[in-house]
Amino acid sequence: MLLAFSVAPLGAGDSVTDAVADAVAIVRASGLPHRTDAMFTTIEGEWDEVFAVVRDATDAVAAHGHRISLVMKADIRPGRTGELDAKVARVERALAQRQDT
């Protein structure tokens, strides 16, 4: 499964950088394949292990405020692995083919 999530404290002021850094540190320490961009962190793994990381990251952010915003989007395809990179590679190939025609 791929799961993209964004977690941040509410009412924590103008910047949530430290809280988000705490969450990303949890993701990195998990050892699961992941990618962080400006809006989301995407994790790849089995259901239980991915949700455990999201829970731990949310707990880390909770130390920064009394209310937490958590947004998640999942792509659940049993038996598939390596999709964190493979999905992007398929789109890049499709784009390259369009340039060739």
Rounded to an integer, the average pLDDT of 60-78 is 95
| Rounded Cα–Cα distance for residues 81 and 3 (Å) | 13
pLDDT tens sequence across 14-46: 889 999 999 999 999 999 999 999 999 999 999
Backbone dihedral angles phi then psi of residue 67, each to the nearest 5 degrees = -140, 140
> Is the distance from CB of 15 to CB of 38 less than 8 angstroms?
no
Joined together, the tokens standing for residue 52 give: 């455990």
pLDDT tens sequence across 81-94: 999 999 999 999 99
Q: What is the pLDDT of residue 101?
A: 72
Q: What is the pLDDT of residue 25?
A: 98
| Rounded Cα–Cα distance for residues 63 and 84 (Å) | 29
Entry pTM: 0.89
Joined together, the tokens standing for residue 6 give: 């964004």
